Amino acid sequence: MPISHQNLAHWGAFVVDLDEDDAIVAVRASARDTHPSELIGNTTAMRDGRVRVSQPHVRRSWYETRARTGRGQDDYLPLEWDEAIRLVAETLQDTHSRLGPGGVYGGSYGWASAGRFHHAQSQIHRFLNSCGGYTTSLNDYSHGASMVLLPHLVGANQSFRQMTSWSNIAEHTELLLAFGGIPMKNTSVSPGGLGAHTVPDQLAQLSQRGGRIVSVSPIREDAPRIAGAEWLSIRPGTDVAVMLALAFAAVEEDRHDRGFLDTFTTGGEQVISYLRGDLDGVAKSPRWAAELSGIHADRIVELSRMLTEQRSLISVSYSLQRTRFGEQPVWAALTLASIVGQIGLDGGGFAHGLGSMGDLGQPDHRGALPTFPQGRNPVDAFIPCAAITEMLLHPGEEFQYDGGTYRYPEVDLVYWAGGNPFHHHQNLPRFAGALDGLGALIVHEPFWTATARHADVVLPVTTSIERNDIGAARSDPDIIAMRRAVPPLGQARDDYDIFADIAEVLGVRERFTEGRSSAQWLRWMYDHWRQTLADDLGIGVQDFDAFWESGRTTLPTPAPRVFLQEFRADPLRDPLRTPSGRIELYSERIASFGYDDCPGQATWLGAPESHLDVRAERYPLVLIANQPRTRLHSQLDHGMVSMAAKIEGREPVRMSPSVAAARSITDGDTVRLFNERGACLAGARIDPGLLDGVLELATGAWYTPVDDGDGVLCTAGNPNVLTSDVLASRLSHGSAGGRALVELERFDRTPPSTDPHAAPISAAG
């Protein structure tokens, strides 16, 4: 009789079925989820011993001579846990003695596990805080430009989490104009997972009611078929021009909402003056935008009229701000929505991130979730997270960020848990070179990812099916008991237990653990959360024992939201936390910073990484490096679903038939993509659903570099060999790695024999 264990991943709730020998028989979606993600099929790869780190390992030349070079090329020596713990503690102590706690960069990214206790980011930050602190990072790679910009425009009290709910859109929206589309592949994942994926049903409801979606994107697949969405193909990087032209047409035909601009915004006059060309002599007309974008001027005028004649919602995806001048698409969309005047109305206005994750557009719980406290970091040093290479290469140099001037800290030890910077970061050859300046790189990792294969010390950690935890998401009603399904593989240990033992050597175990085991922390977190719910919100939930026995606690379903509805209802009672108390279409504060790459209002600054770029003659194709369909980020790249989509083990690159024909490429060929930064191999997929001149190569293939004589060649197909680590602007320092200019050719040589998922030779033994 199979034994079943409930669990949760960022792509959904699932059940693991075991036989009497504790071997996995099946992994299946929760019965509550009527639209489960296919990514559940990757779960069994968590137990692939070929890819797992079997025990602690140390890079040979670093162990013997503390060599700073050779990362990614060296072999590894196995260690016993006692020696590994001592080695890490001594390395931390050495860095502290020379540079202080700020000499340690606490790297992490919060996607390692859907569990609230075994959340690697919380674990490492609490540990480093217990040791005196660390240099930290601000914001994230997903929407770093928006996170800095939007508080200036709509106030810090209006977060992304308060955007209009899908249920409200499904009921009221007549036209959803989606710049960047609504990519359904992205809606299958969210931080903390989803007990049920509801976006498909809500889109179907919108369509059945007669609502219309127009997806503005170079990729047809970004238009959700379930809603019969229209695909409006656009040249990459020209969305701002089209948004400005839509606004221009509304103003010129006197269809803009003057009352809304006067009452709820500041800067409307400056915006209209800019649209008419008073500042630069260029009217932002539909004809002007048509020449840039490839969308016919008459179509732009038609869309502009539809926006003002129907209940319309203007959405901009995260992907559009993940580029140079990434603030501008978000600002321009908010400006256009203000000119239309429907912000704060049911089904209308502005949205950011719809389709970028599954929980965006789902209302959040009123209270907090169970949380593992991180403590206080006494170190002030920080970087915007996408600036890690600059920090490593330019310690002590000044950088500008959000109106301030700061200095990159001097960091000699990077301690990473729960993330893979060789997935998230751009210009990987430059990043790998920057690591050569480090004294040490310590990594907690279940698998031999590229980050593990560049580390000096690798400590094996458990996966989510090998430990107990509490699963919870910001917008899902179910709090889930994540019961351990199988024992740890090899010598893997929980992050918490590893940190507790290192803390003991350093003399701070009590400060880190507070005398609690993992099981005691789970109970403490749940009880503390339960009491807070009762005290602050009057919500009662079952006690921990009942929760663990039943497997879940269900919270009241949050009420749907409409973005800025309270503000529109009474702007005097509920002003925005901006200098004017209103929407800042023109920001005096941002203008005062004097940034030419982010002026005081939504501005056309050009289309980087497009046909307009001066490098386009040499590299004529625009590569879009987007999120994968077959995994979350780079997680479980060796899983069944991920591998099934590859071509001879390489990530597929999609291209239009004309791009392929011009280069004598047929479907399934091995191809080489290259530019001035590097090159990678991929498998060709010919797809008429891409604009001519555009390539799509998803991120997440495990970086596998070889020297092919012309520089770095990633044989697995990681596009971040090609993307630039230039930052969005001096305002945000956000990641700008969503696009790159490249060339493409058929690879007629025998590809190098490499396996991105194989352990280093000495480690495999």
Classify the C-alpha dihedral 88-92-98-103 as positive or negative: positive
CA-closest candidate to residue 467, choices 495, 442, 445, 500: 495
**Backbone region of residue 315 per phi and psi (left: phi > 0; alpha: psi in -120 to 50; beta: other values):** beta
Rounded distance, CA 642 to CA 86, Å? 38
Inter-residue contact 350 to 334 (CB < 8 Å) = yes
CA-closest candidate to residue 659, choices 748, 718, 740, 744: 744
Catalytic residue flag (residue 331) = no
Inter-residue contact 190 to 357 (CB < 8 Å) = yes
Structure tokens at 52: 């797992």
Helix (H, G, I), strand (E, B) or coil at 553: strand
Helix (H, G, I), strand (E, B) or coil at 4: strand
Marked catalytic residue, from 11, 62, 76, 109:
109
Structure tokens at 48: 């692939």
Residue at 25: amino acid letter: V
Inter-residue contact 375 to 130 (CB < 8 Å) = yes
Say how many Å lie between the first and final Cα of the chain, rounded.
36
Beta bridge partners of 493: 461
Rounded distance, CA 574 to CA 419, Å? 39
Helix spans in 119-163 (H): 120-130, 144-154
Catalytic residue flag (residue 109) = yes
Marked catalytic residue, from 62, 111, 274, 548:
111
Inter-residue contact 71 to 432 (CB < 8 Å) = yes
Residue at 146: amino acid letter: S
CA atoms within 13 A on the CB side of 174: 10
Inter-residue contact 327 to 146 (CB < 8 Å) = yes
Residue where the block lists tokens 């602190």? 133
Structure tokens at 576: 């925005």
3-state secondary structure 9-71: ECCEEEEEEECCCCCEEEEEECCCCCCCCHHHHHHHHHHCCCCECCCCEEEHHHHHHCCCCCC
Inter-residue contact 160 to 316 (CB < 8 Å) = no
Rounded distance, CA 35 to CA 50, Å? 32
Rounded distance, CA 636 to CA 372, Å? 25
Rounded distance, CA 561 to CA 167, Å? 9
| Residues whose CB is less than 8 angstroms from the CB of residue 750 and which lie 6 or more positions away in sequence, other chains included | none
CA-closest candidate to residue 157, choices 585, 576, 580, 566: 576
Beta bridge partners of 13: 8
Rounded distance, CA 265 to CA 258, Å? 10
Rounded distance, CA 184 to CA 11, Å? 13
3-state secondary structure 392-439: HHCCCCEEEECCEEEECCCCCEEEEECCCHHHHCCCHHHHHHHHCCCC
Instruction: Report the catalytic residues.
Output: 109, 111
